[in-house]
Chain A
Amino acid sequence: MKAITRQKAPAEIEKMLEKDLRVFLVGCGTCATMCHTGGKDEVLAMAGKLADLGKTVTGTAVLPTVCDALDQQAVSENLKRIGEADCVLVMACAFGVQMMALYTDKPVYPGLDTLFMGQEMAPGVFSEVCVQCGECVLAWTGGICPITACPKSLLNGPCGGAKKGKCEVSASTDCVWELIYQRLRAQGKLDYLKKPRSLRNFAASVKPGIYLVDGKDDQLT
């Protein structure tokens, strides 16, 4: 899974940076590069836009994987140029932004919006694969996730909203319950759909998620 991101609108970035003249730019060599939102090309393009706005870019760095603690080393190599800046604009997922905020005392701003955890299905086509609900249901849904792929996260089969196999929310999205039905029918497992599903336990995904292994999880309750 990768963090799927989209660049913030130029006006929003301009607003964030309005009081800062000197900016250090960080990109990410992993997910944001794949999404074409925070790789080398996008960071250089952003540096040009900031220059057009009259900002001074004190430096740029496309770190290998901003969310990885190992990147602190790469950050330390840039400390001087970060120190010269009023702020750091991070073109990585929100995880990367938060890691950068640990590495520097300078104000850290997100250049991207993190949309979801997903994968690239075809060039330029990203789709969400898991919402981390904390109670995996894939065993009885043919390996297709209705929590993620049904906008209503329904558990008991399709709503009445599908038309010609497409979801009521978007005519370009397949009704996932029709896909699940077809898959289970092919597997001879339609009895999975006949069983009423109990209520979801949202306590399994209280924010912020914290998980301690080796039974230490009990301390959370």
Chain B
Amino acid sequence: MNLREKLGAGKFVVTCEVGPPKGVDTSDMKRRAESVRGKVDAVNVTDQQSSVMRLGSLAGCVLVKHWGMEPVLQMTCRDRNRIALQSDLLSAYALGIENVLCLTGDYVTLGDHPQAKPVFDLDSVSLIETARELQNGHDLAGKELKGAPQFFIGACVSPEADLLDPQIMKMEKKAAAGAQFFQTQAVYDARRFAEFMSMVRHVNVPVLAGIVVLRSAAMARYMNEKTAGIRVPDKLIQEMDKAADKAAKGVEIAVRTIAEVKGLCQGFHIMTIGQEKRTSDIIDAAGL
């Protein structure tokens, strides 16, 4: 069963993410990906995350598939116009990639080529519409395709956005445009996540709750100050502060969060940012 079939059948799923290298030596990426083989249902391959130039997500997905796992192609609107995005969607499908996570993308100046031209011809909502149009057999110009792809379309949402109402409106638009699953920004507070899920129940699309593993109290404070859509409760920061073994505590908190919110969602999307071994530890400890 693939991701689409599992979620369609109401099965609980786990995804994680692997970032491609800056360069063509994919051995470390392979090692990281293989550390979660057999433990996750699919692996997201990031699209030059944080606007840092790297090996592309399409090539990364082909590699992940080659290494025996199911990839999720992350696609942002930052670097490509609608011609390139449609073409890459067709290319991905022709290479056997079905899962596509449609994102707007970080702004260019956040990365390592701040003088590059930002594109943003489409946004997350219109990229989802675009994937759906291709599925319907035509491109955005209404021209007929010779063979239509069939994607499993994903989108993201931030349950802890400072201003939640427009975030939910956009989630509704993404679902209406054709999003078939959501992966969320990090979740740390089960009660607030439960409130969020009750607010979006009508959207009726599977939600995979985001888990970002804490490494230190400083990381949590930094994210609270700087990272959009993340709010780590003070109680967890204190726990991290007091812990002797920070890595073990981070995993423990992730496992606890998973247990607390498991009944509210259809799966988890675990982000360990380069430390995929911890993804595997969390999955084992959480019994996923």
Contacts and interface: CB of A to CB of B under 8 A. Distances in A.
Interface of A: 151-165, 168-169, 177-178, 181, 185, 190, 193-194, 196-200, 202
A163 B167 CA distance: 13
Given A177-B166, A196-B173, A156 B126 contact: yes
B121 A194 contact: no
Given A163-B227, A168-B228, A181 B163 contact: yes
A158 B170 contact: yes
Nearest to A194: B169
A158 B172 contact: no
B123 A158 contact: no
B275 interface: no
Contact of B118 (A152, A198, A202): A152
A163 B185 CA distance: 13
Given A163-B227, A199-B140, A157 B162 contact: no
B120 interface: yes
A119 to B, nearest CB: 24
Contacts of B140: 199
Nearest to A185: B165
B285 interface: no
B163 A165 contact: yes
Interface of A is mostly: loop
User: Which size class do B's interface residues fall under?
Assistant: 35 or more
Contacts of B166: 157-158, 177-178, 181, 193
Interface centre among B82, B157, B161 (most CB of A within 10 A): B161
Contact of B110 (A158, A169, A198): A169
A196 B107 contact: no
Contact of B122 (A161, A194, A199): A199
Contacts of B156: 160
Interface string B150-183: 0000001110011101110110110011000000
Contacts of B120: 152-154
Interface centre among A154, A157, A164, A199 (most CB of B within 10 A): A157
Contacts of B227: 163
B169 A154 contact: no
Contacts of A162: 161-163, 228
Nearest to B120: A152
A197 B126 CA distance: 8
Nearest to A154: B123
Contacts of A168: 106-107, 110, 228
A190 B168 CA distance: 12
A77 B100 CA distance: 66
A190 B167 CA distance: 13
Given A168-B106, A190-B169, 5 more contacts: A152-B120, A160-B156, A160-B161, A160-B167, A196-B173
B226 interface: yes
Q: Lowest 7 A-B CB distances belong to which pairs?
A: A156-B125, A152-B120, A157-B170, A159-B104, A181-B166, A163-B228, A160-B158
Interface centre among B118, B166, B173, B226 (most CB of A within 10 A): B166
15 contacts: A152-B104, A152-B107, A153-B120, A155-B123, A156-B126, A158-B161, A160-B156, A160-B167, A160-B185, A163-B227, A168-B107, A169-B107, A169-B110, A181-B165, A196-B177
Contact of A161 (B123, B170, B172, B228): B228
B184 to A, nearest CB: 10
B228 A160 contact: yes
Contacts of B169: 157, 190, 193-194
B109 interface: yes
B228 A199 contact: no
Nearest to B109: A169
Contacts of B106: 161, 168
A34 to B, nearest CB: 28
Interface centre among A155, A160, A162 (most CB of B within 10 A): A160
Interface in B94-137: 104-107, 109-110, 118, 120-126, 129
Contacts of B176: 196
Contacts of B125: 156-157, 196-197
